Amino acid sequence: MYPWGPTGAPVHLVHARGIEKAHGGRAILRGVDLSVDPGERIGLVGPNGCGKSTLLRILAGEEPADHGVIDHQGTFAMLSQVPHLPGRTVQDALDEAVAWHRELLATWEAAVAAHDVERAGAAQDRLDREGWVIAHKVDAVAEKLACPPRDALLSRLSGGEARRVALARVLLQQPDLLILDEPTNHLDADTCEWLQGLLTGWRGGVLLVTHDRYLLEAVATRIVDIDDGVGVPYEGSYTDYLIGRAERQAQLRLAEDRRLALIAREAEWASRSPAARTTKQKARLLRLEALQSVRPIKREEQFQLDLRTGFQKGGNLLELHGVCKRYGARTILDRVDLVLRPGETVGVLGPNGAGKSTLLSILAGRLSPDKGQVVRAPRLDAAILDQERTGLDPSLTVWEAAGDGNDHVVVGDRSVHVASFLGRFLFPKQTHDQKVSKLSGGERARLLLARLMLHGANLLLLDEPTNDLDLLTLQVLEEALLDFDGAAVVVTHDRAFLDRVCDRVLAFEGDGRVVAYASRQQHLAAIAQAAAERSPAPVVPPPRSAPATPKPAARKLSYKEQREHEALPGQIEALEAELARLGEELSDPATWQGGGEQARALSARAEALPAEIDALMARWAELEERA
């Protein structure tokens, strides 16, 4: 699948050296070195605007580097945040993704016809590995990713639909190297679990940018942090990275403090020494210049998000009683009940298109239910952050969007200058005149969070708030919600976010049913239990009755076969229980931690069990006939 060197050692799938890139007068990448080997899965992390997506585009050849060298071996495919899909329809885009399979079949046929044994053998080996028929794989991936109908026009797809088709394409291309920029955006939690398992077992290399911490923990074998324009590698998982980075930052701060103290001492000497013109003292001055020329470490930028309004907790903020909503013949919400109280955060789970955004629109008052009652407290003040980030006018500047054209904003009970306020949210002065349309997805999200803070709402309705956020901003948002004195309803696919901030979850379970659970884990346990109950019950041999007419003589069961016949129902029942338990374990994110070795073993066992159960059932039927 991927190349090997003359000694049998794997060749780098991509090897980048000294990559530099500047936008305007700002250096984004200052000499990044990065390589990906077969079997490696590398997570690329860093704050918004540090150059992660830029580096991916450079590695994929979509954008030139100012300086540096890149070597590729094997094939690669990239998922961009704004994908470009070939063809006219979804079918065209998927067909183009598997063109390699048609070419491989043609190569094999031509080699066989030409009696080229070596070329035919190589093509046959890959066809044996990838499959001689690709249509079922296309159907399976498209279904898992909830792609639009095959005849849907690409020009009419929403951003989320286009992203899911693009992700299906890169997976179907079966490249040696997968380059993925925020692959979980617009995916529901179940699909994220499926993608996690797929990437953990990917035979080639994976290079991904993601804010999904569970995905990073389960998939990544190495983390590369883009820190002040250079790539800093950390071996191991996301947890290993957090520990290693904290240790590195502590060492850098200590070294920087020592350097600054030495500069201060040398500068003091230089300012008062009358013998500075001697050869020995000139050398000391040169050392001072060298110390001053060292690039200082970049202090980690942080900001505070305080969503509290001083709201006095009391009665319920909002209630839904028997709320129903239909679109045509389809039921979106069926008799939904919900009570929101100050100080709680409710998570919303469900597949794409289930009706999560419709629920938020009803809670916000943007949409009316067909039936049922919505009771709002007189003091209710709701604010919504939707997926499309429509709260920002793209024609405005950052300054205008933050202050609505004013020079000052009110934060709590204090008047704050807009420049100072934007600085709190990591918008330096040179960005204040920048148009909102030119901001990255993460910068837009950060600006919207700033506006939410100014709004002072006591009910926050957040639709996929984690999309495009870097890990630092994600943690800041989590802390703000944990301290929030109002109520929040959060629709998100981010499993770690749900587990950390939500007091309970609502799950869309089909046909408009919305069920409340204490946690996401309880929801997963309910799914596993339902799956176990749907599995076939063990076959219990029916009671035997005396035959009405004599049977033809048949060979009776031996003593050993009688014991086997009696034990088989229990053995079948035990295997079916094991299969149900494996389903529960594979649904638990903890199973996928530590590189996924345990998960792969459990998956292999789960795949083998049905055949074992069928074999025992056939044996029981055979012995039952003779009993």
User: What are 445-470's pLDDT values in tens digits?
Assistant: 888 888 888 888 889 999 988 887 88
**Does residue 355 sit in the same domain as residue 462?**
yes
Q: What is the pLDDT of residues 106-118, one digit of tens each?
A: 999 999 999 998 9
**Does residue 568 sit in the same domain as residue 615?**
yes
Say if pTM beats, i.e. exceeds, 0.85.
Answer: no
Q: Name, in order, each residue with C-beta under 8 angstroms of 511's C-beta and a sequence gap of 6 or more.
A: 331, 334
Q: What is the pLDDT of residue 159?
A: 85
**Does residue 609 sit in the same domain as residue 503?**
no
- 31: nearest Cα among 61, 1, 65, 60: 65
**Does residue 260 sit in the same domain as residue 369?**
no
- 339: nearest Cα among 363, 370, 357, 356: 363
- In order of 419, 438, 547, the CA distances from 433 in angstroms are 11, 11, 94
CATH number at residue 201: 3.40.50.300
- Residue 559's pLDDT band (cuts 50, 70, 90): low
pLDDT (average), residues 188-201: 90
Flag whether 97 is in a domain.
no
Q: What is the pLDDT of residue 542?
A: 55
- Residue 309's pLDDT band (cuts 50, 70, 90): confident
Flag whether 441 is in a domain.
yes
Range of the domain at 55: 1-75+175-236
**Does residue 248 sit in the same domain as residue 328?**
no
Flag whether 597 is in a domain.
yes
- In order of 339, 478, 487, the CA distances from 381 in angstroms are 16, 21, 10
**Does residue 554 sit in the same domain as residue 501?**
no
Q: What is the pLDDT of residues 398-448, one digit of tens each?
A: 999 888 888 888 877 788 898 888 888 878 888 888 888 888 777 888 888
* CA–CA dist 382, 379 (Å, integer): 10
Please say whether the beta carbons of 459 and 486 come within 8 A: yes
Report the percentage of the chain scoring pLDDT > 70. 85
Please say whether the beta carbons of 615 and 571 come within 8 A: no
Q: Which of the 8 DSSP states describes residue 512?
A: T
**Residue 359 tokens, joined:** 């629920």
**Does residue 514 sit in the same domain as residue 540?**
no
Q: What is the pLDDT of residue 578?
A: 81
**Residue 289 tokens, joined:** 């210049």
Collapse the DSSP code of 388 into the 3-class scheme (helix H, G, I; strand E, B; otherwise coil) and give the result. coil
Q: The tokens 């709320």 sit on which residue? A: 323
With a cut of 80, say whether residue 263 has pLDDT above it: no
With a cut of 60, say whether residue 278 has pLDDT above it: no
In Å, the largest CA–CA distance within the chain is 127
Q: What is the pLDDT of residue 5?
A: 43
End position of a domain, from candidates 206, 221, 236: 236
Flag whether 198 is in a domain.
yes
pLDDT (average), residues 155-172: 93
Beta strands in 281-352 (DSSP E): 318-327, 330-340, 345-349
Please say whether the beta carbons of 49 and 226 come within 8 A: no
Report the percentage of the chain scoring pLDDT > 90. 39
- Residue 593's pLDDT band (cuts 50, 70, 90): low
Mean of the per-residue pLDDT values for the chain?
A: 84
Q: The tokens 């700002």 sit on which residue? A: 26
Flag whether 454 is in a domain.
yes
Phi, psi of 225 (to 5 degrees): -100, 120
- In order of 129, 544, 562, the CA distances from 620 in angstroms are 36, 15, 11
